[in-house]
Copies of this chain bind each other. A is one copy, B any other.
Amino acid sequence: MAGNSFGQLFRITTFGESHGVAIGVIIDGCPAQLDIDMDFIQSELDKRRPGQSKITTQRKESDTVQVLSGIFEGKSTGTPIALLIPNEDQRSKDYGHNVDVYRPSHADYVYDAKYGIRDHRGGGRSSARETAARVAAGAIAKLFLKQQGIEIFAHVTAVGTIEAPNLESNDLSALLQIREENIVRCADPATAHEMVEFIDAVRKDGDTVGGKISCVVKGCPAGLGEPVFDKLHADLGKAMLSINAVHGFEYGSGFAGSELRGSQHNDIPQPKAADSKVFKTTTNYAGGILGGISNGMDITFKVAFKPVATIMHNQQTINAAGEAAEIKGKGRHDPCVVPRAVVIVEAMAALVLADQFLRNKVSTL
């Protein structure tokens, strides 16, 4: 109930503060006999790791994952998988000046209001550091989904007002390669170049900027999602909105679709070839989901991230007593969160799909 668990059958529980001993995650409900590729899990964490390029925070954390339980001789055993990521760079003195001052657009005030106590050494539990645990768990979900033929790909499609064109390719491995060849993680090289230049300029201003990430899921069979409250896109939406800094979610035709007429927006089913079981429509405004249930087409959605609140400018604010205070612009933070958030978006999508995959297994006799 306290909101540190996600998923019903493929269920994770995360713990840990940014400046504590460690963060970690328990995965309860991963089916037995899954091959667990630890190198893959670590490579996913490396994509979220701070300090990976000039446009990310320079905070240093190797984010090395340790297995505490649930894996035996390289396979899941059906028991809880516990993964631990020790905190290395807990330079909490950086935050000493903020003990009593509420940083603008941070969660400091609301934690005090809710709990009456706060680990003021940093963001504590509200820090995006918590998302490393999600990435580790999401990597295992990806391994499970891959075995079912389901693949997930996200990339940065906007930084500020710079938007990437729609991608034509259906070859996820090719897109993945292009994406990883630039530090902003946009699968369009020209746009990526422009984005990197812009973020670097913003960084030099001591400022930050928001952006958007688009995601596609390929190979998802029809039938995933529960019809009323746990619609597939509702679970995806919640998953994305639970990521730090996310302010918006849309799937398929999204906000733009609300401007269309039904005669434009309806996706027309195509007759099947005699030997085909695949459902296809001429367009995909539905984003692969009808009535909350996957229809077998590509699942598409987009996520909007606000600009990071920590800037290198001095700002007016208040302290815990409600008095005016000034906060100095210092510390080590990301000028733009989206390059590191790509793998978080994928991880949360993987967790939703793994969960709904298992849930669908019990929907019929």
Check B290–A106 contact: CB distance below 8 A.
Answer: yes
Q: Is A147 an interface residue (CB 8 A)?
A: yes
Q: A28-B2, A29-B1 are in contact. Are A307 and B68 (CB under 8 A)?
A: no
Candidate in A23, A231, A259 with the most chain B CB atoms within 10 angstroms = A259
**Which listed residue, B32, B290, B310, touches A109 by the CB 8 Å rule?**
B290
Check B33–A13 contact: CB distance below 8 A.
Answer: no
Check A70–B361 contact: CB distance below 8 A.
Answer: no
Ordered by A's residue number, 8 sampled pairs between the chains whose C-beta atoms are within 8 Å are A9-B362, A33-B115, A238-B238, A258-B305, A265-B309, A268-B316, A268-B317, A272-B318
**Which listed residue, B16, B68, B110, B365, touches A15 by the CB 8 Å rule?**
B68
Distance A290 CA – B310 CA, assembled complex (angstroms) = 14
Check A32–B315 contact: CB distance below 8 A.
Answer: no
Stretch at the interface among A47-55, A176-184, A201-209: A201-209
Nearest CB on B from A267, distance (A): 5
Check B114–A78 contact: CB distance below 8 A.
Answer: yes
Q: Which residues of B contact A84 (CB under 8 A)?
A: 68
Residue of B nearest to A272 (CB): B322
Check A2–B78 contact: CB distance below 8 A.
Answer: yes
Residues in A91-119 with C-beta less than 8 Å from chain B? 102, 104-107, 109-111, 113-119
Q: Is A43 an interface residue (CB 8 A)?
A: no
